[in-house]
Copies of this chain bind each other. A is one copy, B any other.
Amino acid sequence: MAKNITPRKENYSQWYLDVISAGKLADYAPVKGCMVIRPSGFAIWEAMQARLDRMFKETGHVNAYFPLLIPKHFMEKEAEHVEGFSPECAVVTHGGGKELEEPLMIRPTSETVIGHMYSQWIQSYRDLPVLINQWCNVLRWEMRTRLFLRTSEFLWQEGHTAHETEEEAQEETMRMLEIYRRFQEEDLAIPVIPGLKTESEKFPGAIATYCIEAMMQDGKALQAGTSHNLGQNFAKAFDITFLDRKNEQSHAWTTSWGVSTRMIGGLIMTHGDDDGLIIPPRIAPVQVVIIPIFTNDSERAETKAFAESIAERLHSRLDRLKVVIDHRDDLRPAEKFFHWLQQGIPVRIEVGPRDVAKQCGMVARRDVREKESVELESITAHVCDLLEKIQENLFQRALEFREQNTRRAKNYEEFCEIMKKEGGFVMAHWNGSPEVEAKIKGDTKATIRCIPLDPDPVPGKCMVTGEPSEREVVFAVAY
């Protein structure tokens, strides 16, 4: 067991911070609530970006860049939006040595300034749809911060689209939710529940917010991505109108959707163990590390040469495995194992003089800590297969954990009991009112994470009021 990491059972919050520190993933910045993403953490973000960016482009989206600073009066054009975001804004009051005539907000999100630009770019139905994404930093002032999960500044992508019809906007909203679901489950190996947010949890200014919710290893929920149908709210606030097919002026229908560096926090808390980070192979910046083991110069030469020959085989694959050889001479093998263990690299191959003699590599997997000797001839196929297995195992393990920690409550008393003793997700019926939702939160800290998109829901009765309920919703304490 790693001495530099507090076990999860002892203190889950401290475990999380220790894993980040041991993996050199991020640090707090000198400005309160801001973070520095260190190279090991940023490489994970780059891998996430690369995959998502491809998925966005394959569905017809293009990237652009909108400004960091937003005039204060822009924020005020959409009533719910200003109410939701103004308290969280950082405000620039001086620039170039002078006080500004109008304060500028650092973007907490960009619906307003993008709405303003779209009103200039969109004239006719021929200009629609507009399907733009941007990768950028945003800032939302936070008092209680936690690296990756909740920091004042974070990195994200925000998609902003404008459509001719209500139906197209809804289709886009669901398309992007599905892309997020696929990315989380297929690439990050994190099972998620897609669903609709309640009125009190929806994005300020949206008519509907959809989300994907994941369960962390302490049973708490993490919102891992959101997709908003903004209806015509922002089109009306920013005058995004177009000449429609009937030659009449219409307001466009818009959407927005985003995921952020928070996903790195979700990755750590879903897969990590008491020895540190575990990165699923599909998103790992390094998938395989090869470690030559030697005690003298001649062994050094032969193990390194053999390591190179293994790396060459792995590189030759069409899908180009990401392989690194740890060539450092000033560390002992145990120190190197420990380093890569805490970096969460899925597969390690040890190569000592005896392995060279046998023309084998000792292949170890990070997720279940087994290792076996594999012959050079079959090592490429073996490692490729192993990476697939690890990816699948991480997903199944997380899915089983979620299933074991998802309960049903017969009545409100039982609900409160579960929330108090066990946590996790609780599926329960609710009458649809914000008052009951607030009461439950007050009593138990649990919120409705989402109303699942089950096409065939089972009706029942609200656990608090006994009123009829169309479907169960997911309750949990959330990050």
- In the bound assembly, the distance between CA atoms of A442 and B330 in angstroms comes to 58
Interface centre among A63, A88, A90, A155 (most CB of B within 10 A): A90
Complex contact A65–B91 (CB within 8 A): no
- In the bound assembly, the distance between CA atoms of A331 and B38 in angstroms comes to 49
List CB contacts (< 8 Å) of A50-73 with chain B: 62-71
Complex contact B37–A64 (CB within 8 A): yes
Chain B residues with CB under 8 A of A155: 65
A27 within 8 A of partner (CB): yes
User: Which of B35, B43, B330 is A63 in contact with, Cβ under 8 Å?
Assistant: B43
Q: A62-B42, A64-B36 are in contact. Are A96 and B153 (CB under 8 A)?
A: no
Interface centre among A62, A87, A142 (most CB of B within 10 A): A62
A269 within 8 A of partner (CB): no
Q: Smallest Cβ distance from A145 to chain B, in angstroms?
A: 12
Complex contact B113–A71 (CB within 8 A): no
User: Which of B71, B120, B153 is A68 in contact with, Cβ under 8 Å?
Assistant: B153
Complex contact B93–A93 (CB within 8 A): yes
Please give the number of chain A residues whose Cβ is less than 8 angstroms from any Cβ of chain B in the complex.
57
- In the bound assembly, the distance between CA atoms of A103 and B65 in angstroms comes to 27
A459 within 8 A of partner (CB): no
Complex contact A66–B141 (CB within 8 A): no
Q: How many copies make up the complex? A: 2
A301 within 8 A of partner (CB): no
Q: Smallest Cβ distance from A404 to chain B, in angstroms?
A: 36
List CB contacts (< 8 Å) of A86-115 with chain B: 86-97, 103-104, 106, 113
Closest B residue by C-beta to A90: B95
Complex contact A39–B66 (CB within 8 A): no
Closest B residue by C-beta to A102: B31
Stretch at the interface among A132-140, A224-232, A248-256, A373-381: A132-140
A30 within 8 A of partner (CB): yes
A29 within 8 A of partner (CB): yes
List CB contacts (< 8 Å) of A9-50 with chain B: 27, 29-31, 34-39, 41-43, 45-46
User: Which of B41, B66, B71, B91 is A95 in contact with, Cβ under 8 Å?
Assistant: B91
Q: Smallest Cβ distance from A67 to chain B, in angstroms?
A: 4
- In the bound assembly, the distance between CA atoms of A34 and B68 in angstroms comes to 9
Q: Smallest Cβ distance from A282 to chain B, in angstroms?
A: 20
User: Which of B30, B74, B142 is A71 in contact with, Cβ under 8 Å?
Assistant: B30
Complex contact A31–B71 (CB within 8 A): yes
- In the bound assembly, the distance between CA atoms of A152 and B35 in angstroms comes to 24
Chain B residues with CB under 8 A of A89: 95-96
User: Which of B36, B42, B141 is A117 in contact with, Cβ under 8 Å?
Assistant: B36
A305 within 8 A of partner (CB): no
- In the bound assembly, the distance between CA atoms of A338 and B106 in angstroms comes to 39
Q: Smallest Cβ distance from A203 to chain B, in angstroms?
A: 20
Complex contact A92–B90 (CB within 8 A): yes
Other 13 A-B pairs with CB < 8 A, given A68-B139, A136-B137: A29-B113, A31-B104, A34-B69, A37-B64, A38-B64, A43-B63, A46-B63, A68-B153, A89-B95, A90-B104, A91-B92, A91-B94, A137-B137
**Hey, which bits of chain A sit against chain B, CB under 8 A?**
27, 29-31, 34-39, 41-43, 45-46, 62-71, 74, 86-97, 103-104, 106, 113, 116-117, 120, 126, 132, 136-137, 139, 141-143, 152-153, 155, 330
Question: Can you spell out 28 A-B residue pairs with CB atoms less than 8 angstroms apart?
Answer: A30-B70, A31-B69, A31-B104, A34-B67, A34-B68, A34-B69, A36-B66, A42-B63, A42-B64, A43-B62, A43-B63, A68-B106, A68-B153, A69-B139, A69-B153, A86-B97, A88-B96, A90-B94, A91-B92, A91-B94, A92-B106, A93-B94, A94-B103, A95-B141, A96-B141, A96-B142, A96-B143, A106-B106
